[in-house]
Amino acid sequence: MSVAKKQYKRITTKSLVEMKAQGEKISMLTSYDFSMAKIVDGAGIDVILVGDSASNVMAGHETTLPITLDQMIYHAVSVVRAVERALVVVDLPFGSYQSDPKEALRSAIRIMKESGGHAVKLEGGKEIKDSVKRILNAGIPVMGHLGLTPQSIYKFGTYTVRAKEEAEAEKLKTDALMLEKAGCFALVLEKVPAKLAKEVAESLTIPVIGIGAGNGVDGQVLVVHDMIGMTHEFNPRFLRRYLDLYSEMTKAFEQYRDDVKSRNFPSDDEQY
């Protein structure tokens, strides 16, 4: 059992800031449904992200843009029902917060009220500052997300590493400080150079959780379907696969198919 699992009965935004202060790394994984969230939470993962990556891994879309607020709430409700210990953070989907702070607050309130999630995550820096403040003023904890922000994929054009150039790195550092000052409790940094991510983590008191951002940050997040190998066509350098479920599940389904066809299943012991 991990140190964190023993120490914290229930993870709060405050526990995460404490973990950073104590030098304890934070573990975070996505989940989108009850069964997966139950396993992830039972394993002692500190933060469960109901990510808009559900748009890719659950619904099969090419990007995160199509998923709706109602669909995010559906996923979040199922996750919250399973979780006893982890902090549940829910992504505000594309189109639910970008137009103005009032709309952002309305969307965040719907997530908190209807799903029972504990915090929301928004992508972006300076551009969404007023929305972040508005949500925080309503007492809703906010996690920031900088670097590669998949909701802006059509602006970037590619999923390659962000902030390699000086100007973008400087903007990222300014945005990170702004998000901390505004009151965010944590920040996700996606696909940026490890040196820059370390510098940002060291300059903030709130935890920085990385995905493809090296080991100098305060915690790591991965998409659960990627790390257990249910997806197999997505192979970025930062991804460590802990299982090869795509192969294992294929073998199991083939075996079941053969057992049914050959009348091997069900056996005498498997019937009434």
Q: Name the site residues for ligand KIV (rule: CB under 6 A).
A: 30, 49, 51-53, 91, 188, 190, 211, 221, 223
Q: Shortest Cβ distance from residue 68 to ligand KIV (Å)?
A: 14
Catalytic sites, residue numbers: 190
The neighbouring-strand residues paired with 142 are: 120
Residue among 51 and 141 whose Cβ is closer to ligand KIV: 51
Integer Cα distance of 163 and 174 in angstroms:
12
Residue among 102 and 185 whose Cβ is closer to ligand KIV: 185
Q: Residue written as tokens 């500190």? A: 46
The residues, ordered by sequence, that sit 6+ positions from 165 with a Cβ below 8 Å of its Cβ are: none
The CA–CA distances, whole Å, from 7 to 10, 23, 89 equal 9, 14, 21
Integer Cα distance of 78 and 201 in angstroms:
32
Question: Using an 8 Å Cβ cutoff, are 80 and 117 in contact?
Answer: yes
Residue among 92 and 112 whose Cβ is closer to ligand KIV: 92
User: In the bound complex, which residue of the shown chain has the CB atom lying closest to ligand KIV?
Assistant: 51
User: Hey, what are 43's tokens?
Assistant: 């394993």
User: Hey, what are 248's tokens?
Assistant: 């294992």
Task: Using the Cα atoms of residue 100, residue 105, residue 110 and residue 112 in order, give the sign of their dihedral.
Answer: positive
Q: Shortest Cβ distance from residue 91 to ligand KIV (Å)?
A: 5
Residue among 24 and 91 whose Cβ is closer to ligand KIV: 91
Residue among 4 and 72 whose Cβ is closer to ligand KIV: 72
Binding residues for Mg(2+): 52, 91, 123
Integer Cα distance of 131 and 9 in angstroms:
32
∠ CA(133), CA(138), CA(142), 5° rounding? 55
Q: Tell me the helix, strand and coil percentages in the chain, rounded to 5.
A: 45, 15, 40
Question: Using an 8 Å Cβ cutoff, are 55 and 25 in contact?
Answer: no
Q: Shortest Cβ distance from residue 103 to ligand KIV (Å)?
A: 20
Binding residues for 3-methyl-2-oxobutanoate: 52-53, 91, 121
Q: Shortest Cβ distance from residue 257 to ligand KIV (Å)?
A: 32
Q: Shortest Cβ distance from residue 150 to ligand KIV (Å)?
A: 7
**Based on C-alpha coordinates, what's the Rg of the chain?**
20
